[in-house]
Amino acid sequence: MRLDAFMARAAAAYYAGRDPFGRAGDFTTAPEISQAFGECLGLWAAVAWQQMGRPAPLLLVELGPGRGTLMADALRAIAEVMPAFRAALQLHLVETSPALRAAQARLLPDAQWHADIATLPAGPAIVLANEFFDALPIRQFIRRGDAWLERFVQDGAWHELPPEAAPPLPGHAPEGAVLEHCDAALAIVQTLAARGATLLALDYGPAEDGFGDSLQALSAHGRAEPLAAPGSVDITAHVRFAALAATARAAGAAAHGPLPMGLFLQRLGLMSRAAILARSNPRQAGLILSGAERLVTPEGMGRLFKALCLCHPRRDPPPGFEPA
């Protein structure tokens, strides 16, 4: 099986029946670490809406919303700070997992669900995606001699075969170099850019694309073997932000970033928000502040994670992406 087909099946089986988040699960994400994360992104979306000329209705879309925590925190902040935006927005969630759709419905009863972006209605849209693109299936090409082979999976082992319908690959590369390619991510970005949507993608990956095998699996907060137990571990890959930005620009959008996520969140005032939360919950102040610090510090998630924004080319850069 080609690696992307293997990953797609493994991811579908993995997410279909479980809630993988939090201490008892396999991994923890930013919205589960600090409520200030979703709140700041909600206010980010409110300013982006104003920059778009306050269209109504406005589609507020989240890709892969997990438990729905980010969006619930975002909507609470939006309702408080900009009720006109809360009134104008229609909530659309793109989610394939039945178990996670049920969790989202408990927090976000007025949402509409989609299996992919193809069924989103037309019209102005702001799209949020946190740790979504890393879960999409990738292909891996490996340099052997003067040629590229593609990595396939069979019975838990790797096989290398000549690729069919490969994307453009560089003419030179060191022996054994691995090049990753995510058709699904590029197709989503291309579609959103072409419809003039504003997209904010937060995920892990390098600022500049290069060679390397970034496929990883997590189980119970530890590393697992990606091929060993398909469907029972979380398989992801680094997001190639430069490729996403290039695809967006080719489709007519402006691309801002990728910025280190820590810098982006600090510009949005995440630490000030956390300080306010800590002052009003003195018993949990330590936990609140250390959670926020984990999101912004380079040793935490602040450097590995990046923020990339696509928007209409004639619009001002949204908050956090202004030229320094």
Q: Is residue 236 a contact residue for ligand SAH (CB under 6 A)?
A: no
Return the residue nearest ligand SAH (CB atom).
64
Kindly tell me which residue out of 7, 11, 91, 138 binds ligand SAH, with binding defined by CB under 6 A: 11
What the block records as the tokens of 67 is 């438990």
Query: CA geometry: angle at 37 spanning 31 and 42, to 5°?
Result: 110
Stretch that binds ligand SAH, among 63-71, 85-93, 145-153, 208-216 (CB under 6 A): 63-71
Q: In what order do the strands lie in the sheet with 89-94?
A: 112-114, 89-94, 58-63, 125-130, 198-204, 305-311, 254-260
Question: Which one-letter amino acid corresponds to residue 204?
Answer: Y
Q: How buried is residue 111: exposed, middle or buried, by Cβ count under 10 Å (0-12/13-18/19+)?
A: buried
Select 89 or 100, whichever has its Cβ closest to ligand SAH: 100
Select 96 or 219, whichever has its Cβ closest to ligand SAH: 96
- Residue 202 and residue 305 in contact, taking contact as beta carbons nearer than 8 Å: yes
Select 95 or 150, whichever has its Cβ closest to ligand SAH: 95
Shortest reach from residue 80's CB to ligand SAH, in Å = 22
Kindly tell me which residue out of 38, 42, 65, 300 binds ligand SAH, with binding defined by CB under 6 A: 65
Site for ligand SAH, residues 237 to 276, rule: CB under 6 A: none
- Spatial distance between the Cα atoms of 300 and 145, rounded to a whole number of angstroms: 39
Q: Is residue 37 a contact residue for ligand SAH (CB under 6 A)?
A: no
Number of residues that bind ligand SAH (CB under 6 A): 20
Shortest reach from residue 294's CB to ligand SAH, in Å = 14
3-state secondary structure of 261: helix
Kindly tell me which residue out of 46, 77, 91, 100 binds ligand SAH, with binding defined by CB under 6 A: 100
Site for ligand SAH, residues 134 to 173, rule: CB under 6 A: 135-136
- Residue 79 and residue 144 in contact, taking contact as beta carbons nearer than 8 Å: no
Select 61 or 153, whichever has its Cβ closest to ligand SAH: 61
Q: Is residue 64 a contact residue for ligand SAH (CB under 6 A)?
A: yes
Per DSSP bridges, beta strands 178-181 and 139-144 are: antiparallel
Q: How buried is residue 251: exposed, middle or buried, by Cβ count under 10 Å (0-12/13-18/19+)?
A: middle
Select 5 or 87, whichever has its Cβ closest to ligand SAH: 5
> Do you find a cis peptide bond into 298, omega within 30 degrees of 0?
no
Which residues here bind ligand SAH, judged by CB under 6 A? 11, 15, 21, 29, 31-32, 64-66, 70, 94-97, 100, 130-132, 135-136
